[in-house]
Amino acid sequence: MLKTIDSLGELRGKRVLVRADLNVPLDGTTITDDGRILAALPTLTRLVEAGARVVVLSHLGRPKGAPEEKYSLQPVVGRLGELLGQDVAFATDTVGPAAQDVVAGLADGGVAVLENLRFNAGETSKDDAERLAFATELAALGDAFVSDGFGVVHRKQASVFELATLLPAAAGELVRSEVESLQKVTDRPERPFVVVLGGAKIADKLGVIDSLLGKADRILIGGGMAYTFQKAKGFEVGRSLLDESKLDVVREYMERAERDGVELVLPVDTVVAPEFSADAAPTVVPVEEMPADQEGMDIGPETATLFGEKISDAATVFWNGPMGVFEFENFAQGTIAVAETLSKAPGFTVVGGGDSAAAVRTLGFDESLFSHISTGGGASLELIEGKDLPGISILEEDTE
Q: Is 23 annotated as a binding residue?
A: yes
Q: Has 154 been labeled as part of a binding site?
A: no
Q: How confident is the model at residue 386 (pLDDT cuts 50, 70, 90)?
A: confident
Find the mean pLDDT for residues 304-332: 95
Mark whether 153 and 244 lie in a shared domain. no
Q: Is the peptide bond before 192 cis (omega within 30 degrees of 0)?
A: yes
Pair (67, 38) in one structural domain: yes
Say if CB 42 and CB 7 are below 8 A apart: no
Q: Residue 129 carries which side chain, given as an amino acid letter?
A: A
pLDDT, residue 35, reads 87
pLDDT, position 227? 97
Residues 119 and 241 in one domain: no
Please compute the mean of the pLDDT values over residues 101-123 and round it to a whole number: 98
Both 344 and 215 in a single domain?
A: yes
CA distance 236 to 291: 7
pLDDT at 143 over 50: yes
| CA–CA dist 390, 131 (Å, integer) | 14
Residue 188 pLDDT exceeds 90: no
Q: Is 85 a known ligand-binding residue?
A: no
- Residues 261, 161, single domain; the answer is no
Residues forming the active site:
36, 201, 354, 378
Q: What pLDDT is recorded for position 187?
A: 87
Say if residue 36 carries a ligand binding annotation.
Answer: yes
Q: Judge whether 287 lies within some domain.
A: yes
Order the strands of the 283-286 sheet from edge to edge.
Answer: 283-286, 269-273, 295-299
Residues 195 and 138 both lie in one domain: no
Q: Is residue 400 part of a domain?
A: no
Which of residues 172, 207, 236 is at a domain's end? 172
Q: Are 119 and 245 within one domain?
A: no
| Residues 351/360, Cβ–Cβ less than 8 Å | yes
pLDDT tens-digit map of 113-140 = 999 999 999 999 999 999 999 999 999 9
CATH code, 79: 3.40.50.1260
pLDDT of residue 399: 44
pLDDT tens per residue across span 30-49: 999 898 999 999 999 999 99
50 and 191 assigned to the same domain: no
Q: How many residues does the chain have?
A: 400
Query: What span, in angstroms and rounded, lies between the C-alpha atoms of 190 and 183?
Result: 12
Residue 102 has pLDDT above 90, yes or no: yes
**Structural domain total, the chain:** 2
Please give, one letter per residue, the 3-state secondary structure of 84-149.
HCCCEEEECCCCCHHHHHHHHCCCCCCEEEECCHHHCCCCCCCCHHHHHHHHHHHHCCCCEEEECC
**Is 356 annotated in some ligand binding site?**
yes
- Domain end, chosen from 153, 172, 191, is at 172
346 and 327 within one domain: yes
Give 326-357 pLDDT, tens digit per residue: 999 999 999 999 999 999 999 999 998 778 88
Structural domain that includes position 331: 181-385
Q: Is 239 part of any known ligand binding site?
A: no
Residues 125 and 260 reside in one and the same domain: no
What is the reported pLDDT for 79? 97
Q: Look over the chain and give the mean of its residue pLDDT values, rounded to a whole number.
A: 95
Last residue of a domain, one of 172, 193, 213: 172
Instruction: Note the pLDDT of residue 400.
Output: 44
- Residue 94 belongs to some domain of the structure: yes
Residues 212-239 have pLDDT tens digits of 998 999 999 999 999 999 999 999 999 9
- Residue 162's pLDDT is 98
| pLDDT of residue 107 exceeding 80 | yes
Q: Are residues 210 and 353 in the same domain?
A: yes
Is residue 148 a part of any domain in this protein? yes
pTM, two decimal places: 0.90
State yes or no: 354 annotated in a binding site: yes
Say if 398 falls within a structural domain: no
